């Protein structure tokens, strides 16, 4: 047992070896430790990235910038960040236009839950070592520069596809962090633990300095500077991106299919329909084309094994889902979060993109059931707008329930709009 102190505790080779064993047991495929001060400068890079052009659905990202820049507002006294990753590698993407394509990251158990559990278990293990240590697990759950901290590892780099990739695992990895109120970095250098079970004890740790001017991890002697960087001439991901969201100047979030199919809640502009193809949830194109994802030596985490039966992903099956069936079928996966309406919108576009009339009856049936639900919701609102004396009352002063109903009405109307265009396209009436 070790007492907690502000000084670097005596972290023996035994500590690091045991930590490596623990990570191997928890299927953690990378771990490095960064001083929390590494966050400073984030506001500038955030503005450079989004400028004032943050899509409304991602507006939440621009809040709490002071927390992003100062992790001790997430955990009081935070001194080090333990950045980890888990692999979800699955290159089996369907090109069959009659089946919906779900992004690899969403085909297994919800990564938020898995990461959180692993981080908690890592935290408990650390507490056995340092009984006074306090920690906080982060998995998309707090305003935090996840990619910036991840790229500080000797084994990681941010590619032109905008994603962090790991030397042995490629880019199909999830990032998570454990903030701790103990200085595990000692002299302030970044410490990368080699988790490859085959590696020797002499190869266990890499130390990287932080450039005092740029605030970035030093490149000298860094593994990533040579073998891992994007080759100068490679632009495969940029060329393959269906919508042009990835381009050398700036990542255009509002054109990214991942954003459009998952985050965006409105009508998808007509000119983007064909580009979406059969992608009904997320997009992997800029990862599938990356050569680094071909030569991967790390196995995917068991929790992220594909749960979806190929037959279930037929568009005919998906278009026949009811809201209840949707919830049942996607329970436990991140897909549940987008809700029935966004999923139906995405499937309607995929059906329109096949150009096949076989989907017309499915679309008509879906339109009828969506209309029925819409009428029900509209009458609920009309009823609540009537005052007890028979007159009408002001809805703005209304309950949370009314605003939920109004939101649902907008969502169902949005599905109808998409079905109307899909029917026109497939019946050739455009
Ligand atoms: C919003 C979001 C999206 C949005 C916008 C993405 C974007 N890149 O802007 C959309 C919906 C489009 C999206 C798509 C995807 N996402 Co996403 N997304 C996020 C989320 C929740 C926030 C990202 C963000 O914009 N943060 C704000 C910016 C400012 O911070 P940042 O991400 O850390 O990156 C900045 C810093 O590195 C900073 N920076 C650079 N230099 C410096 C220097 C200093 C000093 C500082 C402080 C900062 C700094 O600049 C970067 C911006 O360019 C993160 C989780 C998270 N909390 O970070 C996941 C995350 C980035 N997404 C992830 C994934 C898996 C995806 C998809 C692959 C999913 C899919 N298959 O459909 C796609 C990939 C699309 C692509 N090519 O980028 C993973 C990426 C893992 C990885 N290997 O990198 C993350 C990290 C989630 C996770 N916990 O694992 N995503
Ligand atoms: S996820 Fe798809 S749309 Fe988004 S940048 Fe990558 S290839 Fe382009
Ligand atoms: S496809 Fe090429 S340019 Fe794109 S991330 Fe991979 S190596 Fe880099």
Asked whether residue 212 falls in the same domain as residue 333, the answer is no
Shared domain check, 429 and 326:
yes
Question: Is the Cβ atom of 62 under 6 angstroms away from ligand 1?
Answer: no
209 and 67 in a common domain: yes
Tell me the helix, strand and coil percentages in the chain, rounded to 5.
45, 10, 40
140 is catalytic: yes
Check: CB of residue 138 under 8 Å from CB of residue 176.
yes
| Three-state DSSP class for residue 33 | strand
CB of 163 closer than 6 A to ligand 3?
A: no
Residue of 156, 161, 228, 286 to test ligand 3 pocket, by largest number of atoms within 8 Å of CB: 161
Residues 6+ apart with CB under 8 A from 135: 75, 123, 126, 127, 178, 179, 180, 181
- Do residues 221 and 330 share a domain? no
Q: What is the pLDDT of residues 167-212, one digit of tens each?
A: 999 999 999 999 999 999 988 899 999 999 888 888 899 998 887 7
Quick check: is 104 in a domain?
yes
Question: Of 140, 203, 239, 270, which is the active-site residue?
Answer: 140
Q: C-alpha distances in angstroms, 421 versus 256, 285, 379?
A: 22, 26, 26
β-pair type (164-166, 190-193): unpaired
128 lies in some domain: yes
Ligand nearest to the CA of 116: 1
| pLDDT at position 114 | 97
User: Are 173 and 34 in a shared domain?
Assistant: yes
- Is the residue at 213 inside a domain? yes
Ligand 3 atom at minimum distance from 235 CA: 3
235: exposed, middle or buried (Cβ count in 10 Å: 0-12, 13-18, 19+):
middle
Q: Is 290 in the pocket of ligand 2 (CB under 6 A)?
A: no
Boundaries of domain holding 162:
13-228
**What's the distance, CA 163 to chain centroid?**
11
Counting as low any pLDDT under 50, the low residues of the chain are 1-7, 42, 220-221, 397
For residue 253, which ligand has an atom nearest its CA?
A: 1
Q: Which atom of ligand 2 is nearest to the CA of 255?
A: 3
Sign of the dihedral through C-alpha 326, 367, 347, 265:
negative
> 378 lies in a domain?
yes
Instruction: Tell the residue nearest (CA) to atom 1 of ligand 3.
Output: 290
Q: Of 423, 419, 337, which Cα lies nearest the Cα of 374?
A: 419
Q: Are both 220 and 336 inside the same structural domain?
A: no
In a domain, 289, yes or no: no
Instruction: Give the closest residue (by CA) to ligand 1 atom 78.
Output: 162
The structure's pTM equals: 0.92
Note the pLDDT of residue 428. Answer: 87
Tokens 């139906």 -> residue: 344
Same structural domain, 324 and 216: no
Q: Are residues 359 and 222 in the same domain?
A: no
- For the chain, the straight-line distance linking the first and the last C-alpha, in angstroms and rounded, comes to 74
The answer to whether 281 and 103 have CB atoms below 8 angstroms apart is yes
pLDDT given for residue 41 in this prediction = 56
Q: Which atom of ligand 2 is nearest to the CA of 162?
A: 5
In a domain, 237, yes or no: no
Using one digit for the tens of pLDDT, what is the confidence trace for 105-135?
999 999 999 999 999 999 999 999 999 999 9
Q: What is the pLDDT of residue 397?
A: 46
Which residue's C-alpha comes closest to atom 8 of ligand 2?
241
Q: Is the CB of 243 under 6 A from ligand 2?
A: yes
- How far is Cα 418 from Cα 421, in angstroms, rounded to an integer? 5
Q: Are 169 and 23 in contact (CB under 8 A)?
A: no
For the record, the structure tokens of 12 come out as 């023996």
Residue 152 CB–ligand 2 contact under 6 Å = no
Of 180, 197, 228, the domain-final residue: 228
Among 162, 194, 228, the domain-final residue is 228
Separate counts of helices (H) and strands (E) for the chain: 15, 10
Which H/E stretch holds residue 112? helix 111-129
Q: Which of 195, 228, 261 is the last residue of a domain?
A: 228
In a domain, 109, yes or no: yes
Check if 171 has its Cβ closer than 6 Å to any atom of ligand 1.
yes
What are the residues facing 158 on neighbouring strands? 164
Same domain, 194 and 338: no
Distance CA 83, CA 175 (A): 7
Q: Which residue in this structure is represented by tokens 């236009």?
A: 97
| Coil, helix or strand at residue 373 | helix
* Beta carbon of 419 within 6 Å of any ligand 1 atom: no
Q: Report d(CA 5, CA 126) in Å as an integer.
A: 14
Task: Report how far ligand 1's centroid is from the alpha carbon of 94 (Å).
Answer: 25
Q: Are residues 312 and 223 part of one domain?
A: no
Distance CA 359, CA 315 (A): 8
In a domain, 325, yes or no: yes
Question: What was the pLDDT predicted at 144?
Answer: 92
Beta-carbon contacts of residue 315 (< 8 Å; ≥ 6 apart):
98, 99, 100, 278, 347, 350, 351, 354, 359, 362
- Structural domain count, the chain: 2
Ligand 2 within 6 A of CB of 262: no
pLDDT at 220: 46
Nearest ligand to residue 236 Cα: 3
According to DSSP, the β-strands at 164-166 and 156-158 are antiparallel
Of 345, 351, 371, the C-alpha closest to 424 is: 351
Check residue 56 and give its pLDDT.
82
- 317 with 223, same domain? no
């Amino acid at each position: 047992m070790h007492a907690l102190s502000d000084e670097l505790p005596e972290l023996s080779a035994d500590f690091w070896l045991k930590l490596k064993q623990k990570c191997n047991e928890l299927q953690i495929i990378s771990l490095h430790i960064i001083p929390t001060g590494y966050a400073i400068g984030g506001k500038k890079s955030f503005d450079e990235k989004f400028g004032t052009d943050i899509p409304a659905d991602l507006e939440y990202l621009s809040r709490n910038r002071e927390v992003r820049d100062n992790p001790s507002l997430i955990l009081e006294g935070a001194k080090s960040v333990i950045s980890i990753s888990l692999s979800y590698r699955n290159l089996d993407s369907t090109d069959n236009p009659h089946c919906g394509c779900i992004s690899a990251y969403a085909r297994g158990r919800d990564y938020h839950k898995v990461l959180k559990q692993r981080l908690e278990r890592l935290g408990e293990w650390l507490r056995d070592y340092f009984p006074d240590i306090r920690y906080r697990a982060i998995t998309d759950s707090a305003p935090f520069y996840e990619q910036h901290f991840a790229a500080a590892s000797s084994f990681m780099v941010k590619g032109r596809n905008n994603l962090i990739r790991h030397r042995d695992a490629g880019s199909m990895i999830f990032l998570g962090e454990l903030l701790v109120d103990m200085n595990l970095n000692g002299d302030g250098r970044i410490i990368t633990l080699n988790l490859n079970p085959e590696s020797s004890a002499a190869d266990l740790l890499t130390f990287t300095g932080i450039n005092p001017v740029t605030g970035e991890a030093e490149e000298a002697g860094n593994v990533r500077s040579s073998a891992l960087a994007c080759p100068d001439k490679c632009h495969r991901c940029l060329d393959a991106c269906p919508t042009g969201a990835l381009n050398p100047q700036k990542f255009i979030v509002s054109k990214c299919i991942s954003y459009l199919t998952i985050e965006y809640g409105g009508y998808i502009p007509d000119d983007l329909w064909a580009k979406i193809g059969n992608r009904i949830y997320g997009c992997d194109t800029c990862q599938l084309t990356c050569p680094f994802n071909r030569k991967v030596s790390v196995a995917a985490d068991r929790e992220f094994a594909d749960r979806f039966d190929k037959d279930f992903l037929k568009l005919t099956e998906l278009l026949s889902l009811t809201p209840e069936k949707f919830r049942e079928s996607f329970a436990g996966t991140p897909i549940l979060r987008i809700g029935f309406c966004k999923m139906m919108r995405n499937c309607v576009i995929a059906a329109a993109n096949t150009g096949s009339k076989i989907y017309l009856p499915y679309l008509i049936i879906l339109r009828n059931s969506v209309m029925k639900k819409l009428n029900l919701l509209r009458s609920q609102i009309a009823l609540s707008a009537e005052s007890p004396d028979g007159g009408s009352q002001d809805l703005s002063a209304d309950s949370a329930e009314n605003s939920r109903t109004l939101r649902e009405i907008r969502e169902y109307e949005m599905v109808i709009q998409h079905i109307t265009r899909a029917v026109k396209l497939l019946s050739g009436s455009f």
